[in-house]
Amino acid sequence: MDIKKRTLTTTEESVLKNDLLDVEVWVNGAIDGKVANCKKRMIAEWLPKLYADESVTQIPANEDEMIALVVARSDYLDRSERDNGHPSGEPADSWTVAQLQKYLSKHSVSYAEDDAKSALLTKAKAKYAE
């Protein structure tokens, strides 16, 4: 994932340079620190779930592989899915009917409960394109 660039105003840059030796180094360090903290919380949350799941016979010792195992699970939801009921970004064919319905409801787009997934996806994509 590429992080979108943000251009600082002159004032923002001046304020940051007042306290920081190198703004870019600080931003990269802040991202690294946030990733490390999120990784620790994710592992602490999921290890007990994996231990309790009888279908899991092996848990990788490598943290990156363990996280890949978790995000590949059907019961894994990222923050956006937990909070919004649907993934972030553009609606896609991989979304479930329930996720498409949540997206449409959140954006006040009407649909019928018996609409086919393809119809829901068409409406969701049209709303996303607005």
Domain ranges of the chain: 6-76, 86-130
pLDDT in tens, 14-45: 999 999 999 999 999 999 999 999 999 999 99
Gyration radius of the chain over CA positions:
20
Residue in the block written with tokens 């931003």: 27
- Position 11 confidence tier, pLDDT thresholds 50, 70, 90: very high
Q: Does residue 97 contact residue 118 with C-beta atoms inside 8 Å? A: no
Answer whether residue 3 shows pLDDT above 90.
Answer: no
Cα 60 to Cα 37, 57, 67: the distances in Å are: 20, 10, 9
How many separate helices (H) and strands (E) can be counted in the chain?
A: 6, 0
Query: In whole angstroms, what is the distance from residue 8 CA to residue 10 CA?
Result: 6
